[in-house]
Amino acid sequence: MRGDIMGDDHYRVPGFKASAVAAGLKKDGSKDVALIFSEKISAAAGVFTRNKVKAAPVILSQDHIESGKARAIIVNAGNANACTGEKGMADARAMAALAADELGIDANEVIVGSTGVIGKPLDMGLIERAVTELVKNLSFEGIPEAAQAIMTTDTFTKLSRYEGIAGGQRYRIVGMAKGAGMIMPDMATMLGFLLTDIHVKSADLHRAVLSSVEKTFNRVTVDGDTSTNDMVIVLANGLASNSDLREEDVRGFEGGLRKVMGELARMIARDGEGASKLIEIRVRGAASPTDALNAARTVANSPLVKTAFYGRDANWGRIMAALGRSGIRMEPDRVDLWIDDIQIVSGGLGSGEEAEKRAEQRMANEAVTLKIDLHQGGSEEEVMTCDFTHDYVSINADYRT
Amino acid sequence: MRGDIMGDDHYRVPGFKASAVAAGLKKDGSKDVALIFSEKISAAAGVFTRNKVKAAPVILSQDHIESGKARAIIVNAGNANACTGEKGMADARAMAALAADELGIDANEVIVGSTGVIGKPLDMGLIERAVTELVKNLSFEGIPEAAQAIMTTDTFTKLSRYEGIAGGQRYRIVGMAKGAGMIMPDMATMLGFLLTDIHVKSADLHRAVLSSVEKTFNRVTVDGDTSTNDMVIVLANGLASNSDLREEDVRGFEGGLRKVMGELARMIARDGEGASKLIEIRVRGAASPTDALNAARTVANSPLVKTAFYGRDANWGRIMAALGRSGIRMEPDRVDLWIDDIQIVSGGLGSGEEAEKRAEQRMANEAVTLKIDLHQGGSEEEVMTCDFTHDYVSINADYRT
């Protein structure tokens, strides 16, 4: 069984089952509750939204993952169970308890995730009916179905996988994510669940997850909004039976996590609500890492830059203006800009209409890179975003109606 | 002559003449260069963009206003003369010199302003031809025409006036502004020129202008972008011949400035690119003035909140989420929200569908107020913004093409 051919086994990880059902939370009747189950107790690590308004399932799951162990993840889409007060907390607890009872495990071994409309009470009758079916349907081939069920405004399912070798054994990482809008570090309406059969200590897992999320999911922005519900959870069940990881094995595993999370993050940016193109913003020559990140994020979140990319307009003045207000150290007359490999600004001055025209041809592509050299130092950073389109406005003006 | 009836005299201030011509910088052939001239040397104060990428006319005018005196303002629309290097600085200097020569004054008594596309060299031949005509056409009734000439994507001319009494004499303040996008403190593509015949010391003028701008123009945001070219300039020619101002007179004058600037700022928010409605965001009960302002600005700049207002959707979850990421001190379960006088959130929980429906009826109006009570302290702030529409995207995707 090789993993690089598509098929039912492609996203399979030994020991992990999944399922999904249509509980009736999504208006279109599609699948909206997913369950992931690890046959064996797993090491678990998570990263959660830093928004001060945290949804009930976030608060509950932060508590449950504290132990460094988990066995199941139950997730619903269609309702965020956020800003729902004490009933919301009770509902999140009930979701964990219902799943635990049916699975015959402890409620605090269950992670709960929710995404969807904020401020509406969850219909627990629907969840209750769903749980029995979810447990019944659990299968080793269920991961793609679960990935589909957690989608909201996403236009495609987001899955990624990796195979590595550590401690003498082959292991797998499979990840799913959802997210298309309200995406902005640190953690937006973005859910990510990664499953691996590596054997890894909780502490090593925790460290590897934190640093991988920082460099991947936290480098994606769609609209600068962050959500109440984000979480990235990684479960490692140890079935690969590798020996204890040495430091270089941990680094290799972290590389794998970063690859899977990076691919999922790119998919999220590409699927940004209404987006017509993926934009990678690479800043180099910054005076500090903070400057590099601030520069990249300010440009990435500028509505004027994002609409210019939508309009295929190499309007570099807007990029300069965004850099100028980003608070970084800069000398305008040292800035160089490129669209892909075409230089459009050199020493703060435009490279002429010919260059802009060639750049605008590149901007018609589905993916385009904006490179910025500040010539202030040696720091660099990269942020992924998408353009700002008529469809973004349509999607978000009509979301609840 | 009473000032509260419209007419040629409505925006007249003794001693100030103005004119405008179509130099050919705007593609549609409308007026695009304006001149304001004070017959008498005036006390002058200005506030300029804090963007690190400053247009040549900003750098020049900051230098010229250093003396606290000025006699003329020349402004072009259609080309920002920003990111134009040494030629840009030479061009800004030439604009001042051309106007000064023709007016028979000193070049450093001339303030220069520009707005429009960034990064294109200014066609100085067009400016040169315009200056002769501008000086020839100067008239006391020219203010509205000048206000029209400085517009770019603005859909209406922005003028406001005030009459007060100070030091025993009646005085006037007349202001014009332009700005419709890229509006965000601190100073965006926003030009404001105010003329008054009050007699006021440079130092008092400077202080009054700074504090008035802070509470008015710096409380407007359209898209979070700030520009390379913003300036607010106030000229006071002293023709009202009032006696030296006492402290309470200065406060009265500052109140007048704030009224004129406040009206212009509201007009800018209402005219936000593609906007269908003006949104006033009032935060109270914040733990500090900084918290109040951060809360108001984060909500005002959230694309998700702005599209919800466009869609007449009382989607208070997005408001809560924006507050939660604004970095302020908050307890989600103490937050109250109102749309106009209709409470939609109480103690962090929704007030129900009936309230939301009534709020959504209000959101159909041209102006709507969002009130936020954080119940954390005694600080309050207000920010004006507009909704985010399909037209915003159209305007900014096609601006240069």
Mutate to test the interface with B, among A222, A312, A396, A399 (most CBs of B within 10 A): A396
SS3 of B216-254: the string is: CHHHECCCCCCCCCCEEEEEECCCCCCCCCCHHHHHHHH
CB A390 within 8 A of CB B393: yes
**CA-to-CA distance for B213 and A68, rounded, in angstroms?**
53
Range of lowest pLDDT (A110-114, A390-394, B352-356): A390-394
Q: Does B48 contact chain A (CB < 8 Å)?
A: no
Tell me if chain B has a CB within 8 Å of the CB of A334. no
> Tell me: the pLDDT tens digits for B293-313?
999 999 998 888 988 999 999
- Exposure of A235 by Cβ count < 10 A (0-12 exposed, 13-18 middle, 19+ buried)? buried
ipTM of predicted complex: 0.75
What is the chain B residue with the closest CA to A329? B52
pLDDT at B270: 83
> How far, in Å, CA of B166 to CA of B248, rounded?
9
Instruction: Tell me if A333 and B388 make a contact (CB, 8 A cut-off).
Output: no
Long-range residue pairs from A137-142, CB within 8 A, at least 24 positions apart, any chain: A137/A19, A137/A20, A137/A21, A138/A17, A138/A18, A138/A19, A138/A35, A138/A37, A139/A17, A139/A18, A139/A19, A140/A12, A140/A16, A140/A17, A141/A8, A141/A9, A141/A12, A142/A17, A142/A18, A142/A19, A142/A20
Q: Does B303 touch chain A (CB under 8 A)?
A: yes
- Residue B350, strand partner residues: B345
How many other CB atoms are found less than 10 A from the CB of residue B333?
Answer: 13
Question: Could you read off the pLDDT of B258-280 as tens digits, one per residue?
Answer: 999 999 998 988 887 778 888 99
| Nearest in space to B258 (alpha carbons), one of B323, B207, B313 | B207
CB A386 within 8 A of CB A275: yes
**Average pLDDT, integer, range A324-337:** 94
Structure-block tokens of residue B339: 């749309």
Q: Is A119 on the interface with B (CB under 8 A)?
A: yes
According to the model, what pLDDT value does residue B388 have? 85
Which of the residue ranges A190-194, A358-362, A395-399, B225-229 would you say has the lowest mean pLDDT? A395-399
For chain A, state the CA radius of gyration: 22
Nearest-neighbour CA in chain B from A163: distance (Å): 36
B21-36 residue pLDDT tens: 999 999 899 999 999 9
**A189 a catalytic residue:** yes
What is the number of CB-based contacts under 8 A between chain A and chain B?
A: 216
Which H/E stretch holds residue A318? helix A316-324
Q: Residues of A with CB below 8 A from B401's CB?
A: 311, 313
- The rounded mean pLDDT for chain A is 90
Q: Does B325 touch chain A (CB under 8 A)?
A: yes
In the block, residue with structure tokens 């236009």: A155
DSSP summary character for residue B139: B
